[in-house]
Chains A and B, each alone.
Chain A
Amino acid sequence: MAEEKKLFKVTIDNITIEVEPGTTILNAARMIGGDVAPPAMCYYSKLKGSGGKCRTCLVEVAQGSTADPRPMPKLVASCRTNVMDGMVVKNITSERVLDARNGVVEFLLINHPLDCPICDQAGECHLQDLSYEHGKAGTRYEFQRRTFEKHDLGPYIQLHMTRCILCYRCVYVADQVTNKRVHGVLDRGDHAEIATYIEKALDNDFIGNVIDVCPVGALTDKTFRFKNRVWFLKPVDAHRDCPKCAGKVTLWYRGDEVFRVTGRKDQWGEVHDWICNECRFEKKKTSDWVIEGPTRVSRHSVISANHYVNVAKPEEKLPQIMGRPPKITLNIHDISDVNKPEIHLSELPGPAHSDDFNK
């Protein structure tokens, strides 16, 4: 080794780690991992310039550096503050931070509608997780929540502006991943909204990634709309030879139907690779993909509910004794109306309607 690189020693919640200069506190905390990492609603490590908007990642700096050990007077946004040598940071060990974070969550929820039962993001929504940990059960807000005129963003992406928390991630995706941005944040303050200036469909090849980066249910997949809840689907890693993108995706199955395709997400909810619209919206057949195996889902996620991995099935003794498989007297699919084999929900371009079931 030619030259020893100078590493900064930083202590976060009494855990010391050495990181390279220029690392943010948030990224240093993510290197430690676990509960130490502050939650982030707007910061996205793969998008340049993201962060600093939602304030959920606020931390307390108890000691600025070895050279200047004074604490920082206010809580700082950890996604935008770089570490210094000898810095001491308090995240979950600080009462002030937890209190401030509760306040931030309350602010984020002021205008957020309580429509999780309808929202397709429920179950993988970062705001849902955040408010579950930090939020209050009730609201102190007594006024009308903001409402917007509905904008149509084309056949693939469904916009619910009332759910938006203005994190700007989708704007950065359009800037950095696609070659032309047609949507953005219009107006100011309470009227600020994600929209295209003149009704325009988002049709860039990579624009589907805004669905993956959206931390709430503001931008959702129209081809998956209302088809099923995410926790009833089985995520499976798969890839295909795509000329436009890496082609590494997660397929969400019900039975042997692919209900939706998303990018693969890491433990911070960020996608590994951007995927193109063709992979995301057009390729909804198992034959399009090479299956790698079931996605590892954190067992704290509701998506892991009723998904059993490494099941050791007991040996069936009855067929051995009888010499033939037992006669099945009741096949549930003969009676049940749900999951009819002749109705393929995954082939519908949009949400199912009342006439789709009465074939």
Chain B
Amino acid sequence: MQTLTNRAKPVDRRPMTLAERLYVVNIFKGMMITLRHMFKKKATIQYPEQQRPFSPVFRGLHVLNRDEQGRERCTACGLCAVACPAEAITMEAAERKPGEEHLYREEKYAAKYEINMLRCIFCGLCEEACPKDAIYLSETFARSNYKREGLIYKKQDLLIPHPIEQPEEYRKALGNRAKQKQSAN
């Protein structure tokens, strides 16, 4: 039979010698591997106390962004929802009224915005589709929940804290990756 790779080795089917049948050498070899691992650096970390750094391409929980004045950037253009392969995003748009200029950046905004985290596959296509830098996938996990009802995330669950009123929380929610993005721009 033709081999798929040139690395295939024929199986040695000769009968074992007495030294081989005693297995002393092979058992010793195996024990040495175990012993060596005892002195190696441990792969496990103590999770809640210690945390692994996120990869720069990690895609976590969605965040709805605000601009530097704290106005919502989302204009409910629907591109994230049409890009979403899992059809997890739904929204309803409204027109900004006079007097709401400090809340919404554009004349149209998302009155309702929902992401069904049960459907979301964290592919990041919504972030790529967004023309307003309004949604991005942060460096946190979606929180677990005992009930499925709790995994339908509304706009208030997704919005980033206000950058002027809650600067500390805002910076924390922004994460490292968003900062890299801002410094690159």
Contact = CB atoms under 8 A, between A and B. Distances in A.
Interface in A220-279: 225-229, 231-232
Interface residues of A, number: 32
B94 A117 contact: no
Contacts of B81: 232
Contacts of B77: 116-118, 122, 229
Interface in B104-145: 106-108, 111-112, 114, 116, 131-132
Nearest to A350: B95
Given A225-B95, A339-B90, A353-B95, A118 B152 contact: no
Contacts of B116: 332
Interface in A87-122: 115-118, 122
Consensus secondary structure, chain A interface: loop
A316 interface: no
A40 B78 CA distance: 27
A330 B82 contact: no
B94 A337 contact: no
Nearest to B79: A117
B92 interface: yes
A118 B106 contact: yes
B82 A117 contact: no
A62 interface: no
B111 A336 contact: no
A357 B152 contact: no
A335 interface: yes
Contact of B111 (A116, A122, A354): A354
A333 to B, nearest CB: 11
A329 B147 CA distance: 11
Of A227, A334, A353, most B-chain CB atoms within 10 Å: A353
A339 B92 contact: yes
A357 B116 CA distance: 20
A336 B112 CA distance: 9
Contacts of B14: none
Interface string A344-356: 0100001111101
Contact of A226 (B79, B95, B152): B95
Of B81, B94, B132, B152, most A-chain CB atoms within 10 Å: B94
B148 interface: yes
A357 B75 contact: no
Given A118-B106, A232-B82, A338 B90 contact: yes
Interface in A197-233: 225-229, 231-232
Nearest to A229: B78
B131 A352 contact: no
A232 B149 contact: no
Contacts of B94: 226, 351-354, 356-357
Contact of A336 (B78, B82, B131, B152): B152
A229 B93 CA distance: 9
A59 B76 CA distance: 39
Interface in A278-314: 302, 305-306
Interface string B31-72: 000000000000000000000000000000000000000000
A80 B77 CA distance: 37
Nearest to A115: B106
B154 interface: yes
B169 to A, nearest CB: 24
B101 interface: no
A335 B152 contact: yes
B100 interface: yes
B102 interface: no
A306 B87 contact: yes
B97 interface: yes
Contacts of A302: 82
Nearest to B94: A352
A350 B108 CA distance: 13
A65 B172 CA distance: 72
B174 interface: no
Interface of A: 115-118, 122, 225-229, 231-232, 302, 305-306, 329-330, 332, 334-339, 345, 350-354, 356-357
The 8 closest A-B pairs by CB, nearest first: A117-B77, A351-B95, A229-B78, A338-B90, A352-B94, A226-B93, A118-B108, A338-B112
22 contacts: A117-B75, A117-B77, A117-B108, A118-B75, A118-B108, A225-B95, A226-B76, A227-B93, A229-B77, A231-B78, A330-B149, A332-B116, A336-B90, A337-B154, A338-B92, A350-B95, A351-B95, A352-B111, A354-B97, A354-B100, A356-B111, A357-B112
Interface of B: 75-79, 81-82, 87, 90-95, 97, 100, 106-108, 111-112, 114, 116, 131-132, 148-149, 152, 154
Given A232-B81, A336-B114, A352-B111, 4 more contacts: A117-B77, A117-B79, A226-B94, A232-B78
